[in-house]
Amino acid sequence: MQPISASSPAAPDEDASAIGGKPGMIRIIVVDDEVAQMRALCDTLRDHDYEVTGYTAAEQVLAALQDKRFDLLLTDLMMPGMDGIALLQAAHRIDPDLVAIIMTGEGSITSAVAAMKSGALDYILKPFKLSVVLPVLERALAIRNLRMKNAILEERERKHTLELEAALKDLEAFSYSVSHDLRAPLRIAGSYLAILTEDFPGQLPAEANRLLGVAQHNIAQMGQLVEDLLRLARLGQQPLTKRPMSMAALAQEVLAELLATTPEREVDIDMGELPACIGDPGLLRQVYSNLLSNALKFTRNRDRPRVEIGAYPENGHTVYFVRDNGAGFDMRYAVKLFGAFQRLHRSSDFEGTGIGLSIAHKIVERHGGRIWAESETDRGAIFYFSLPESA
């Protein structure tokens, strides 16, 4: 049987779906084994600017869906052969974006509800009331439109995520390559300066010695920057090796190493209880190394430097913190803290490359936690990082 359009009876040589159609019109496919009722419904919908194609058998609907895209299926529930539920399931296998509405009599509402569980958005009762049919259609089409928009957004987000991941990998590879290639010329330049200093002691003018010292200092600083860049680049490629570990032992070990570099300093250390965690010991060592070295560095000008290390539970995470009474910083600039090369103090006051906290941030994120800080200028700072209790 050929499709029956709203404007004519069955036409053997004519594609009824195209009759009266306009670009951009909503395409509805109607199936009802009662020809008169199907035609009446098609006529009514065409009067409201829908492009409608009518059929009296479910099998013909499936064939039409193979050749043409429709927006909405309006199908009778009880039909000979394939019923509305079976048709709906088969139609969705062809076009998952198609929305469907079931038509049923008063005595078949339970079956209509079952059809909705199978994927129909709604149902309408026979005999039809135009005031009921049109809002149901509009609601179903609005839901379809929303689904399509969401699908487009999800696909864009997926592509954007893939592009971002690829860009980050490229950036990490580039940073590693550049940093690796920079090490050799820096090493050579440093060696030549050292030869000048050692082979010509007392023979160079005072100004030349001063300039040599400046150059050596800058080469050392550049070397540290290169090492930090390499460390940051490796983080994206280095797999996590998690295991149960003692955070107390780790913090004590890092602190002892840092204090050993300046044995003349007296620092008041207050270490509280640090719960164990599941994490990568090598990477978490870098977090504590960065936070504790910063605390010691920024308390350097205090008469009584003090550093507190502690932890507390919060919403399924353990929050570890390092507090100091050092130089602090203005919280207006806190958003810059964890970006690479971001510094809130002059390099003439406090040395550093501005990469340490970005490394800590990346490590904590890879462990499923977060890192943040609180501070006031000249009144110290507190750095927090959280780790899941069962990582």
322 with 383: CB under 8 angstroms? Answer: yes
Which pair of tokens denotes residue 177?
């390559």
Top mean-pLDDT range of 187-191, 213-217, 379-383: 379-383
According to DSSP, the β-strands at 371-375 and 381-388 are antiparallel
**pLDDT at residue 2, rounded to an integer:** 43
For 240-388, give the CATH class: alpha beta
- List b or e across 230-244, with b for residues whose CB sees 16 or more CB atoms inside 10 angstroms: bbbbebbeeeeeeee
For 16-128, give the CATH class: alpha beta
Nearest to 69 by CA among 47, 89, 86, 91: 91
The CA angle 235-239-244, to the nearest 5 degrees, is 110
Q: How confident is the model at residue 349 (pLDDT cuts 50, 70, 90)?
A: very low
Distances (CA, A) of 138 to 5, 6, 129, 141, 148: 21, 19, 15, 5, 15
- Domain spans of the chain? 16-128, 240-388
**pLDDT at residue 19, rounded to an integer:** 37
**pLDDT at residue 231, rounded to an integer:** 66
User: What mean pLDDT do residues 190-195 have?
Assistant: 85
**pLDDT at residue 309, rounded to an integer:** 96
**pLDDT at residue 371, rounded to an integer:** 92
User: What mean pLDDT do residues 317-334 have?
Assistant: 86
* Amino acid, res. 296: L
Helix (H) or strand (E) holding 297: helix 281-298
Cα-Cα end-to-end distance for the chain: 63
- pLDDT per position as a tens digit, 136-179: 888 888 888 888 888 888 888 888 888 877 776 766 666 666 66
Please tell me which residue, 381 or 110, carries the higher pLDDT value: 381
367 with 387: CB under 8 angstroms? Answer: yes
Residues in a beta bridge with 287? none
Nearest to 31 by CA among 78, 92, 67, 94: 78
pLDDT of 319 higher than 70: yes
The pLDDT mean for the chain works out to 80
Separation between Cα atoms, residue 134 and residue 190, nearest integer Å:
82
75 with 84: CB under 8 angstroms? Answer: yes
Separation between Cα atoms, residue 271 and residue 59, nearest integer Å:
76
**pLDDT at residue 202, rounded to an integer:** 79
